[in-house]
Amino acid sequence: MVKKKLAIMLFSGPYGKQDADYMSRIAESALQKGYEVKIFLYGDGVHAQMNCQNPKSFLNIGEYLTKLADMGAEIKSCARCSGARGYTEGEFDEALDRYPSSKAVDAVKIHTLYSFIDMIKDCDKIMTFGGV
């Protein structure tokens, strides 16, 4: 049976607002229910990909994204937004299908905006967090 596809956009960074929490909880629920989940980090949302996050009193979003990827989520982040914020470290690597970054968790592939547009086009439903 073909799995239904859910696309999710995160536009705000972790900790300052709770949108990354909501997004992660919903993505996890969707994966548990057997849906295909694709997440795109955009704008300040790319900060969710930061390696070595160490929040004292909040859910660790970097670790949560890694958990979601282990559960089968495809997670990409905007290369332009990532570059602006200092995450990208070189040209696009065709073999690895990502922009290189030692600052981002492995679970997130820094990629072009076109990959988000493909997510929008192909998904059954889309949810957005952090845009407002």
Partner 1 sequence: MVNLVVEITHPPYGHENTFAGLYVALTSLAKGMNVTVILHGDGVYTALKGQSPEKKINVLSTEAQIQDILAIGGKVIAYRDALIHRGIVKEEMIEGIEIYDSPEIYDMMLESTDKVIVF
Partner 2 sequence: MKENICILITKPPHTSEGGKRVCGITRRARDKGMNVTIFLIGDGVLFAKRNLEGNMVITPDDFISIKAGMNDMLARGITPEMLDYRIEAVDDIEGKFVEDAMENSRLVFTW
Least separation in angstroms between residue 125's CB and partner 2 is 5
Nearer to partner 1 among residue 80 and residue 103 (C-beta):
80
Rg from Cα positions in the chain? 14
Q: How far is CA 42 from CA 83, 95, 98, in A?
A: 12, 23, 15
Q: Which of 15, 28, 66, 112 is in the footprint of partner 2 by CB under 8 A?
A: 28
In 33-131, which residue ranges form alpha helices assigned H by DSSP? 61-70, 79-84, 113-122
Least separation in angstroms between residue 94's CB and partner 2 is 34
Q: Which of partner 2, partner 1, none sits in contact with 42, Cβ below 5 to 8 A by type?
A: partner 1
| Total residues belonging to the chain | 132
Helix (H) or strand (E) holding 61: helix 61-70
Contact footprint for partner 1 (CB under 8 A): 9, 11, 42-44, 81, 113-114, 116-118, 120-121, 123, 125-126, 128, 131-132
